[in-house]
Amino acid sequence: MKLIGAYSSPYTRRVAITLRHYGIAHDIKKVTPFGRTKARLRQINPVARIPILALDDGEFVTESQVILDYLDMLVPEHQRLTPSSGPERRKIQNLCGIASAAVDKLVTVLYEFHFRPKDKVYKPWTKMCDEQTADGFRWLDAQLVNGRFFGSQITQAEITAAVFWQFAVEKRTRFCERMDCTQLQALSDEMEQTAPFLATTPEGPIPEGMTLGTRE
């Protein structure tokens, strides 16, 4: 199988880390969802976003949560980062859902400032997004006890929270410092030392001057 995306995309990175955690053989095709590659991406994902998982039979799976669900099904139940049923599954999915929402709002603001002409940025909107991001991350921080959301095992919730928090800190360092999420920071510091995280270092910011690209 082939993962299409970039490690600088936190959604792609959590899939890449999960592939490595499970030891699933895969290739990676580095692609950014803007500029000249936008139209090519649209040929395989109608909404031209990353990540995309290309399966060996030619099928494409999109949306990181859906891809993770597919990867979970490839390993035995006892190895799954999200169990296939039960209250733990619901808890992990809820934690991942809040983490995704927090980072979605952060990405919205990043795009707003990168792509929109400065005088057209609508500040009440970006302020609301920032508040939602901070509320989401603070909530996650408050759920952590001794570095885990529950029990002592690493689940998809720890991986996703660590990836998304690291992304937020890299993009908006001072904003994140003000959130004072010490537990999330400790989790991120721990996870960034593990092999799957070390092997998926983000490539860097959206290059200056990168355009939105076109659909055609």
Ligand X SMILES: N[C@@H](CCC(=O)N[C@@H](CS)C(=O)NCC(=O)O)C(=O)O
Asked if 33 interacts with ligand X (CB under 6 A), we say yes
Closer of 183 and 200 to ligand X (Cβ): 200
Closer of 183 and 213 to ligand X (Cβ): 213
Closer of 25 and 47 to ligand X (Cβ): 47
Closer of 63 and 130 to ligand X (Cβ): 63
Asked if 53 interacts with ligand X (CB under 6 A), we say no
Can you tell me the distance from the alpha carbon of 58 to that of 51, in angstroms, rounded to the nearest whole number? 16
Binding-site string for ligand X from residue 58 to residue 77, where x marks contact by CB under 6 A and - marks none? -----xxx------------
CB < 8 Å & 24+ apart, contacts of 98-101: 98/136, 98/139, 98/140, 99/136, 99/140, 99/157, 99/160, 99/161, 99/164, 100/11, 100/64, 100/65, 100/160, 100/164, 101/132, 101/136
Using CB positions, name the residue nearest to ligand X: 49
Asked if 9 interacts with ligand X (CB under 6 A), we say yes
What sign does the CA torsion over 154, 157, 161, 163 have? Answer: positive
Give least dist CB 182 to ligand X, A: 26
Can you tell me the distance from the alpha carbon of 192 to that of 137, in angstroms, rounded to the nearest whole number? 18
* Number of residues this chain uses to bind ligand X (CB under 6 A): 11
Between residue 85 and residue 124, which ones bind ligand X under the rule CB under 6 A? Answer: 107
Closer of 63 and 190 to ligand X (Cβ): 63
Q: Which of 49, 80, 105, 171 binds ligand X (CB under 6 A)?
A: 49
Can you tell me the distance from the alpha carbon of 212 to that of 3, in angstroms, rounded to the nearest whole number? 22
Q: Which stretches of the chain are assigned E, i.e. beta strand?
A: 2-5, 27-30, 52-54, 60-62
Pairing status of strand 52-54 against strand 27-30 = unpaired
Asked if 50 interacts with ligand X (CB under 6 A), we say yes
Chain residues in the site for ligand X (CB under 6 A): 9, 11, 33, 48-51, 63-65, 107
